[in-house]
Amino acid sequence: MKDNVMTSLQPIKLSTLKTACKSCSLHDLCLPLGLDLSDIDRLNEIIKRRKPLQKGEYLFQNGNTFTSIYAVRSGSIKTYTESEQGDEQITGLYLPGEILGLDAIHNNQHPCSAIALETTSLCEIPFNILEELSEAVPGLYHQLFRIMSKEIASDEALLMLMAQKNAEERLAAFLINMSTRLKQRNFSETEFHLSMSRKDIGNYLGLTIETISRTFSRFQNDGLLTTQRKYVNILKLNELKAIAGIGRHAAENSADDSVAG
Amino acid sequence: MKDNVMTSLQPIKLSTLKTACKSCSLHDLCLPLGLDLSDIDRLNEIIKRRKPLQKGEYLFQNGNTFTSIYAVRSGSIKTYTESEQGDEQITGLYLPGEILGLDAIHNNQHPCSAIALETTSLCEIPFNILEELSEAVPGLYHQLFRIMSKEIASDEALLMLMAQKNAEERLAAFLINMSTRLKQRNFSETEFHLSMSRKDIGNYLGLTIETISRTFSRFQNDGLLTTQRKYVNILKLNELKAIAGIGRHAAENSADDSVAG
DNA sequence: CGCTCACTTGAAGCAAATCAATTAGTGTGG
DNA sequence: CCACACTAATTGATTTGCTTCAAGTGAGCG
Contact (CB<8Å) A152/B151: yes
Closest by alpha carbon to B72, among B54, B50, B89, B95?
Answer: B95
The answer, yes or no, to whether residue B9 has pLDDT greater than 50, is: no
CA angle A198, A206, A202 (to 5 degrees): 0
Residue A250 lies in a domain: yes
The answer, yes or no, to whether residue B15 has pLDDT greater than 50, is: no
What pLDDT sits at residue A19? Answer: 52
Residue B159 lies in a domain: no
Q: Are residues A107 and A175 in the same domain?
A: no
Q: What is the CATH number of the domain that holds B247?
A: 1.10.10.10
Residue B160 lies in a domain: no
Q: Are residues A203 and A79 in the same domain?
A: no
Residue A211 lies in a domain: yes
What torsion do the CA atoms of A149, A152, A153, A155 make, to the nearest 10 degrees? 160
Q: Are residues A105 and A59 in the same domain?
A: yes
Q: Are residues A180 and A224 in the same domain?
A: yes
Q: Are residues A103 and A232 in the same domain?
A: no
Most confident of A104-108, B137-141, B246-250, B254-258: A104-108
The answer, yes or no, to whether residue B98 has pLDDT greater than 90, is: yes
The pLDDT of A60-89, averaged and rounded, is: 92
Q: Are residues B150 and B170 in the same domain?
A: no
Q: Domain boundary residue among B114, B132, B154?
A: B154
For B204-214, how does the pLDDT look when each residue is reduced to its tens digit (9 = 90+)?
999 999 999 99
What is the pTM (predicted TM-score) of this model? Answer: 0.86
Q: Are residues B116 and B218 in the same domain?
A: no
Q: Domain boundary residue among B100, B121, B154?
A: B154
Give the separation between CA B93 and CA A80, rounded to whole angstroms: 24
Give the separation between CA A129 and CA A43, rounded to whole angstroms: 10
The answer to whether strand D lies under 7 Å from the CB of residue A233 is no
The answer, yes or no, to whether residue B33 has pLDDT greater than 70, is: yes
Q: Is A245 helix (H, G, I), strand (E, B) or coil?
A: coil
Q: Are residues A59 and A147 in the same domain?
A: yes
List bases in chain C with any atom under 7 Å of a protein Cβ: 6-11, 15-20, 25-26
Q: Range of A90's domain? A: 2-154
- Please state at what angle helix A209-221 crosses helix A167-184, rounded to 10 degrees: 80
Q: Cβ contacts (< 8 Å) between A203 and chain B: which residues?
A: 163
Round the average pLDDT of chain B to a whole number and report it: 86
Give the separation between CA B93 and CA B200, rounded to whole angstroms: 10
Q: Domain boundary residue among B154, B186, B209?
A: B154
Q: B85-92, long-range: CB within 8 Å, 24+ apart, which pairs?
A: B85/A245, B87/A164, B88/B203, B89/A156, B89/A159, B89/A160, B89/A163, B89/A164, B89/B203, B90/B200, B90/B203, B90/B204, B91/A156, B91/A159, B91/A160, B91/B155, B91/B261, B92/A156, B92/B261
> Is residue B132 within 8 Å of residue B126, measured between CB atoms?
no
Rounded, the Å distance between the CA of A64 and C1' of C30 is 43
In terms of residues, how long is chain A? 261
Q: Cβ contacts (< 8 Å) between B111 and chain A: which residues?
A: 153, 156, 257
Q: Are residues A83 and A150 in the same domain?
A: yes
Most confident of A24-38, A182-196, B18-32: A182-196
What pLDDT sits at residue B247? Answer: 54
Strand D: which of residues 207-226 in chain B lie with Cβ below 7 A? 207-208, 210-211, 214
> Is residue B26 within 8 Å of residue B97, measured between CB atoms?
yes
